[in-house]
């Protein structure tokens, strides 16, 4: 038996999670006493295979089908590889595309599926850790079957760096074209515009704690007083209160300012994906258990409507009437 | 045309909470309509408003308590609702992705919808997998993380945008019937009007047990077993400024001055 991990690429490059899968896959394979196998599906498979040929990988299977991700091709290819290789663990990324094929593959192979895994311990049974209730608690699960499927949260494991000497093997799979029910027509970048929050040294970032659009001038005033740029979590953009180019996170922008002031933001994993690289993180949040405090360097556990007006005054500004 | 929308009542955790056994204590939880499902309901209702003869049916796996949430979906414009629950679901430790997909599939087979809208994830469990698993069970096509939908029912195609990471969207055509998992931001969910809330009281809400939908109690059995729940050890070592708002604000101000963010 083996551990089989499915790499991910987009528009000509392997995504970081592919290298993370090597690390977590090797750890699990060691604990189970098995080989680590990778699959590279679609695109420039040979160059992807040589990129991901890192230390700890035993075999890399390349499946030269399709240019970009298509979940139908992925599902069919993985199902056939699984039948042939009979791995114990099937590891996939908990990315947007991972979530577009992993549940279907698990379902069709009749494998138990646990998603968004942040900890993994090989044994009998294998134990996995995940977060629930918006990151306020962690839970562990035993998987009582020898074969299972897991999706891995990105950036939880380090990327494998050292070169490896895996065997690279091209595999032919039979893709039933008539069963492909979706067609990818292209890509579009979104979120351009006037301000580039990725360039800012100081970000004042606001989340759902602001409650109403009418309250936004409060944080605008603070950003002004600090000479900072205003950014936000996703709900603010979903509500149309700020344009898309202000959104920090997995589906927004990745920012690396010197100072990031997160106000009324819980610190959901998809938000954290965009701001954890900030040099100094300061949180203002009334919930002492908010996950943002796991990341913050400094914090004020209090009502933002109390703290922010005081702060504005500290810098000689005037808090707007809201 | 019939649209089935999956609607989940999610548990939200109070700022201070207790864990009891393998779950959060009921007294620390409040319940609400899942954020992502709210957008899915809105999308379905907008389609029904823009087209003739569209019926929007919601389906929920949940106890009687969840009827409050279901009435919200009805008040926003769903035509009728189905709720599945019984003792074996009540007694289950938790419901895994496969169990939920199987129950929803049984309802879908009965209802025979043209397509199904589901939230990308539920705010509490955050599995993010039920919609796609359901599609596979039904042998429907699917698309995950959809933030724009243009439906051509006559051609049997849904043109969607899938929101990938880093501000990139994928443009994809999906053959119907399909399950689409809906991302927030696709529309602006309406508030339930008073009139809507009144009307919702009269809309059909059909409570079913596993028996009624042709499943037996085995469906709740899972090879996956929850073994622990705990508050994660804070990895953070945040310095917390304490005192009233003027104290904490002045500490933060001093810090920002020291750092040279603002001139003193
Ligand atoms: C596929 C996918 C992609 C996503 N991409 C992104 C992304 O790019 N960026 C992103 O941000 N999210 C993204 N999300 C959404 C993410 O999961 C969360 O829903 C979102 O980040 C929550 O935003 P929030 O912290 O502002 O709101 P909440 O989680 O609701 O948190 C609000 C916080 O404000 C605090 N608060 C409330 N009132 C006050 C007050 N008066 N004073 C002080 N504090 C207060 C509360 O204690 C709470 O912690 C994505 C989700 C999915 C599924």
B136-189 confidence digits (pLDDT tens): 999 999 999 999 999 999 999 999 999 999 999 999 999 999 999 999 999 999
Structure tokens at A255: 């920012």
DSSP letter for each residue of A30-64? HHHT-EEEEEEESSSHHHHHHHT-BTT--EEEEE-
Which of B190, B173, B223 minimizes the C-alpha distance to B77?
Answer: B190
Which atom of ligand 1 approaches the CA of A233 most closely?
A: 11
Q: Is the pLDDT of residue B263 over 80?
A: no
pLDDT at A194: 80
Diameter over CA atoms, chain B: 72
- For B102, nearest residue in chain A (alpha carbons): A107
DSSP state of A134: G
Nearest Cα of chain B lies from the Cα of A77 at a distance, in angstroms, of 15
Interface test with A, best of B16, B104, B167 (most A CBs within 10 A): B167
* CA–CA dist A293, A313 (Å, integer): 25
A94-113 confidence digits (pLDDT tens): 999 999 999 999 999 999 99
Q: Under a CB-based contact definition with an 8 Å cutoff, are residues A80 and A129 in contact?
A: no
Chain A residues inside the 8 Å CB shell of B232: 131, 135, 137-138, 294
What's the average model confidence in pLDDT over A272-295? 96
Q: Under a CB-based contact definition with an 8 Å cutoff, are residues A57 and A28 in contact?
A: no
Q: What is the mean pLDDT of chain A?
A: 96
A115-145 confidence digits (pLDDT tens): 999 999 999 999 999 999 999 999 999 999 9
Q: Under a CB-based contact definition with an 8 Å cutoff, are residues A232 and A242 in contact?
A: yes
Contact A142 B136 (CB under 8 A): no
Chain B residues inside the 8 Å CB shell of A71: 142
Measured between CB atoms, does A112 come within 8 Å of chain B? yes
Q: Which ipTM score applies to this complex?
A: 0.96
Measured between CB atoms, does B250 come within 8 Å of chain A? yes
* Cα separations in angstroms, B18 against A24, A139, A193, B235: 32, 14, 45, 20
Residues 157-176 in A contacting B (C-alpha not used; CB under 8 Å): none
- For A146, nearest residue in chain B (alpha carbons): B223
What is the Å distance from ligand 1's center to A270 Cα? 9
What is the Å distance from ligand 1's center to A232 Cα? 9
Chain B residues inside the 8 Å CB shell of A182: 141-143, 172-175
Predicted TM-score of the model (pTM): 0.97
Which residues are paired to B58 by β-bridges? B5, B81
Measured between CB atoms, does A18 come within 8 Å of chain B? no
The residue among B14 and A322 whose pLDDT is bigger is B14
What's the average model confidence in pLDDT over B5-16? 96
B54-102 confidence digits (pLDDT tens): 999 999 999 999 999 999 999 999 999 999 999 999 999 999 999 999 9
A18-75 confidence digits (pLDDT tens): 999 999 999 999 999 999 999 999 999 999 999 999 999 999 999 999 999 999 999 9
pLDDT at A193: 79
Nearest Cα of chain B lies from the Cα of A11 at a distance, in angstroms, of 11
| Whole-number percent of chain A with pLDDT over 70 | 100
Q: Is the pLDDT of residue A191 over 80?
A: no
What's the average model confidence in pLDDT over A164-184? 96
* Cα separations in angstroms, A12 against A46, A67, A184, B144, B246: 12, 9, 15, 22, 52
What is the Å distance from ligand 1's center to A221 Cα? 21
* CA–CA dist B121, A34 (Å, integer): 33
pLDDT at A321: 87
């Amino acid at each position: 038996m083996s551990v089989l991990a499915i790499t991910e690429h987009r528009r000509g490059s392997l995504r970081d999670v592919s290298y993370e899968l090597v690390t977590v896959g090797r750890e699990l394979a060691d604990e189970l006493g098995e080989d680590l196998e990778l699959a590279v599906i679609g695109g420039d498979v040979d160059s992807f295979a040589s990129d991901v040929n890192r230390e700890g990988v035993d075999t890399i299977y390349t499946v030269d089908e399709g240019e970009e991700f298509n979940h139908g091709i992925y599902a069919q290819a993985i199902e056939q590889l699984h039948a042939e290789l009979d791995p114990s663990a099937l590891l996939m990324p908990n990315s947007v595309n991972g979530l577009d094929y992993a549940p279907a593959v698990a379902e069709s192979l009749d494998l138990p599926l646990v998603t968004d895994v942040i900890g993994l311990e090989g044994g009998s049974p294998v134990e996995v850790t995940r977060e629930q209730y918006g990151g306020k608690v962690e839970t562990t699960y035993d998987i009582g079957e020898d074969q299972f499927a897991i999706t891995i949260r990105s950036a939880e494991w380090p990327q494998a760096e050292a070169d490896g000497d895996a065997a690279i093997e091209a595999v032919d799979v039979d893709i039933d074209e008539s069963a492909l029910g979706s067609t990818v027509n292209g890509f579009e970048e979104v979120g351009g515009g006037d301000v580039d929050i990725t360039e800012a040294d100081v970000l004042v970032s606001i989340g759902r704690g602001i409650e109403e659009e009418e309250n936004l001038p409060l944080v605008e005033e603070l950003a002004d007083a600090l000479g900072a740029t205003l950014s936000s979590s996703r709900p603010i953009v979903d509500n149309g209160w700020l344009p898309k180019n202000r959104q920090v996170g997995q589906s927004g922008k990745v920012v690396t300012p010197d100072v990031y002031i997160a106000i009324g933001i819980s610190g959901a994993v998809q938000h954290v994906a965009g701001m954890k690289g900030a040099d100094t993180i300061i949180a203002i949040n009334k919930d002492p258990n908010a996950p943002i405090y796991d990341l913050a360097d400094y914090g004020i556990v209090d009502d933002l409507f109390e703290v922010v007006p005081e702060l504005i005054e500290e810098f000689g500004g005037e808090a707007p009437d809201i | 045309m019939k649209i089935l929308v999956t609607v989940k009542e999610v548990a939200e955790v109070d700022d201070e909470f207790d864990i009891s056994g393998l779950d959060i204590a009921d007294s620390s939880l409040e319940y609400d309509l899942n954020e992502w499902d709210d957008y899915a309901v809105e999308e379905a209702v907008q389609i029904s408003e823009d087209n003739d003869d569209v019926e929007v049916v919601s389906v929920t796996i949940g106890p009687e308590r969840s009827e409050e949430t279901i009435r919200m979906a009805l008040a926003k414009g769903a035509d009728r609702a189905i709720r599945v629950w019984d003792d074996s679901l009540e007694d289950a430790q938790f419901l895994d992705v496969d169990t939920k997909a199987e129950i929803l599939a049984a309802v879908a087979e009965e209802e025979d919808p043209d397509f199904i809208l589901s939230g990308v994830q539920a705010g509490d469990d955050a599995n993010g997998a039920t919609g796609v698993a359901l599609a596979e069970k039904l042998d429907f096509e699917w698309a995950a993380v959809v933030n724009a939908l243009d439906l051509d029912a006559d051609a049997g195609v849904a043109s969607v945008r899938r929101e990938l990471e880093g501000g990139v969207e994928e443009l994809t055509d999906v053959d119907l019937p399909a399950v689409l998992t809906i991302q927030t931001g696709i529309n602006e969910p309406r508030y339930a009007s008073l009139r809507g809330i009144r009307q919702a009281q009269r809309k059909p809400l059909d409570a079913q047990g596993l028996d009624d939908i042709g499943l037996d109690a085995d469906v709740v059995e899972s090879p996956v077993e929850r073994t622990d729940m705990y508050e994660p050890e804070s990895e953070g070592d945040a310095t917390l400024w304490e005192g009233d708002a003027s104290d904490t604000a002045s500490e933060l101000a001093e810090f920002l001055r020291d750092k040279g963010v603002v001139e003193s």
